[in-house]
Amino acid sequence: MKQTVFITGSSRGIGKACALFFAQQGWNVVINCKNSIEAMKEVQKEILAMGVSCLALQGDVGDYETVTGFYNQIQKHFGLLDVLINNAGISKIGLFQDMKPTEWNEMIQTNLSSVYNCSSMAIPLMLSNGHGKIINISSVWGVAGASCEVAYSTTKGGINAFTKALGKELAPSNIQVNAIACGCIDTEMNQFLDLEEREALIEEIPACRMGKAKEVAELAYSIATGHNYLTSQVIQLDGGWI
């Protein structure tokens, strides 16, 4: 029986790389986006062309009722869920004092509440299955904090604490919870940097380059398919940067 993975925010970047990588290994894949519908449809086409099942769900995973509907569809199509990858997220750079309450709330809802929503509904399916993996895509800024990215750092720090606590809670049930704290990954989220800024950033990274989205996907797949004694861990994938 094929295994099923649900990846939030998977129309581009790390989420897309994860979706394609799992599909290449023959998994059923559930993808999601909030606004990039056409991009998500293209990802779905790529996956279906591999001969595996792909369910595309459009909507805000930061909204509890929306996620409830998503899980009803996942159960209808695939029955159970083996792996959840909480990847959906947004970022905003600017002085904290200039941040509006609406911007703060949107960041919390998109980056952190979504992890609660999707994880809380995945757990019953994983308990029924007798196993499961929850993999949270975090950031090194959740470990170290970043100036002018206070809200983003806060949400990622929350994800890291969530990971450590929930992993302990679910360990007796054979459900592992881990996070990948990404460094600078070469995705659309970093496209605002000009060439000079990119070069200056790369000089700070001991590995002398940005990471690739596929490298995150490969690590996520490795965690998803083994390492059952690994839980409550925040694994930094940053080329030695932080």
Exposed, middle or buried, 6 (CB in 10 Å: 0-12/13-18/19+)?
A: buried
CB 161 within 8 A of CB 222: no
Exposed, middle or buried, 191 (CB in 10 Å: 0-12/13-18/19+)?
A: exposed
Cα within 13 Å of Cα(87), Cβ side: 29
Q: What are phi and psi of 237, to 5 degrees?
A: -120, 85
For the chain, give the number of residues: 242
Give the largest CA-CA distance in the chain. 52
Q: Tokens standing for 32?
A: 């999601």
Q: Strands (DSSP E) along 59-111, which ranges?
A: 83-86
**Active-site positions?**
152
